A and B are shown apart, each in its own frame.
Chain A
């Protein structure tokens, strides 16, 4: 098991290809055919395109906010390839790539950031929980779902995501602790993208790395190069097999870099240097995988062609979100309760009376 060779306390990072796309760990290179690698690269590129377009829609004032995943595509697409249809995904809020892989539509993601709860009713995706804004809280329900799976003897695994900042929340430790005690099938991912808005990870923890936190809870942890598609693929494959086999939870620290801003309201130039950004740019996950493919002679269309082919699909999804049925008063109330209290019905009826009064005054 790779987790044994990369003990977190030794602070080694599991990596398979370097920044130049060269294989530096042949023994652990996964056996993937060209078609699968092309599919992975295309998915990463498409996630990047959709992400960049999302930022630009927001800049055009057509969406309220958006947290870009730029630079974090490899780990998300790798996760998406391992997570099965019946498995559960409990995202934080910077997981557009993995959510899409699980069947969430871009239309739904856009709808959410346009300010419509319908964007969390994933109509085609199975077992995907909504975006979680209260930092870290999603790990707890993920652990609870793990208990359900074990209790109901189902062949499923839960994949919760959290950021580096989220690991400082009490819920992070509580979730790992419960999952460990219960020995439930949960694969925790920390997307360590180096910043919680403006606060660097060195100000979040005095731990040697974030993967080491697994040790306190009696589970394996591994620090993986999150920008290395192959390493992330192998890590997820092993982690999911381990969890699925009933061995209990696993923690993966995906060591990556948020190339974009925290959200569209954030300005990273206030808290980090251009030099640092350029340094991380050398480890860009798409560039690395492309270099690997070029060296291996895996034929692939130009990025420009792939992008041109994909952009209309994103525009189409965005247009569907923009033209979604208007938000109705009913939508404010409808899902607050399964069994709605009479007084809530009355509050709605009172407002309807006000609306009809307003209508008559026109």
Chain B
């Protein structure tokens, strides 16, 4: 075991896979020499050479589109898009080709590729650097979308993503890239894609979140405990395929659900979770399901971001209202 940040844990996962499998290549903007703007790939070019870890020209559609070609011809590319808000030029390649090629060719060309990018707000970044587009990607048939919330999970999920024969979008909560340190096993391990985790068991209300919002939920739960509210916290870990079984079991048990996420709330993962609550646990509900999410606005620039970002006291405020309903 050694203490790692999420950046170090992902770097460690990439390192393990690069050492193990020569078909893995990594590239993107500033990924090689610099090791990425957040240093997630730091040291890997030195260790594995410029043919395997390298800087690509600055064009997101091409980073993803060429990765697709590599994945269809014997490689397992792990490509980086530099920020959430810069993934959109690659959207056509993702929705029109990456997600469809296996289906389009009736299984002849699989797409074992990972598209990773930092996402989310709360770091006073300039416009286009604070977005949470998980619903955009979760809505696309043919891909899987993964979001870790801890260094340990980031490592295990990243190794699973690289080993997946289906394309995986791996969203990294940049706000907690270095904010959490945790003991992480040094050897290889995997965490299954598609399985949520009950982080804390509770009886009064189910709280569902993922990524950087897990930590905010845990802070809110300290306030809830003081108020005598027993909260069951679920970390989704995978956006798609979403773990209905864990969600259903928890909501049936508590009868109440509060969902926390940074993205605009309409047509979101929160919307999907409420649909699941209604479809799978309708007769168990004792309060309306509640989304504590971003407004349907652009993430405000740094000066206004505090209004937008979900704070622990706001989560507690909604938890209490839901429990007292």
Contact = CB atoms under 8 A, between A and B. Distances in A.
Partners in one complex: yes
The listed residue with most B CB atoms (<10 A of its CB), out of A137, A141, A337, A338, is A141
Contact of B105 (A130, A171, A181, A341): A130
A148 B74 contact: yes
A174 B65 CA distance: 10
Interface stretch (B106-114, B211-219, B251-259): B106-114
B210 interface: no
Interface stretch (A26-34, A116-124, A256-264, A308-316): A116-124
B243 to A, nearest CB: 9
Contacts of A341: 144, 194, 240-241
Interface in B221-274: 240-242, 244-245
A144 B61 contact: no
A336 interface: yes
Interface of A: 88, 117-118, 120-122, 129-130, 132, 134, 137, 139-149, 151-152, 170-171, 174-175, 177-178, 181, 334-339, 341-344
B111 to A, nearest CB: 9
A170 B102 contact: no
Given A134-B92, A137-B92, A338-B166, A145 B69 contact: yes
B72 to A, nearest CB: 7
Contacts of B203: none
Interface stretch (B51-59, B146-154, B179-187, B288-296): B51-59
Interface string B95-136: 011000111111111100000000000000000000000000
Contacts of A339: 164-166
Given A121-B107, A130-B105, A338-B166, A141 B61 contact: no
A140 B71 CA distance: 12
Given A129-B72, A129-B109, A147 B240 contact: no
Contact of A337 (B62, B70, B142): B142
B73 A144 contact: yes
A111 B146 CA distance: 36
B69 A137 contact: no
Interface of B: 25, 51, 56-57, 59, 61-62, 64-75, 77, 89, 92-93, 96-97, 101-110, 141-142, 144, 164-166, 194, 240-242, 244-245
A174 B74 CA distance: 22
Contacts of B164: 338-339
Contacts of A149: 73
Contacts of A117: 103-106
Contacts, number: 142
Nearest to B110: A338
Contact of A343 (B71, B97, B244): B244
Contacts of A151: 25, 51, 75
A175 B66 CA distance: 8
20 contacts: A118-B106, A122-B108, A134-B96, A137-B92, A140-B69, A142-B69, A143-B62, A144-B66, A144-B72, A144-B77, A147-B70, A148-B70, A149-B73, A152-B74, A337-B102, A338-B107, A339-B164, A341-B194, A342-B241, A344-B241
B157 to A, nearest CB: 15
Given A122-B108, A134-B97, A170 B65 contact: no
B97 A337 contact: no
Contacts of A175: 62, 65-66
A165 B66 CA distance: 21
A142 B166 CA distance: 20
Given A148-B74, A174-B62, A141 B68 contact: yes
A137 B166 contact: no
The listed residue with most A CB atoms (<10 A of its CB), out of B61, B101, B141, B245, is B61
B75 A337 contact: no
Contacts of A118: 106
B93 A120 contact: no
A32 to B, nearest CB: 32
B69 A170 contact: no
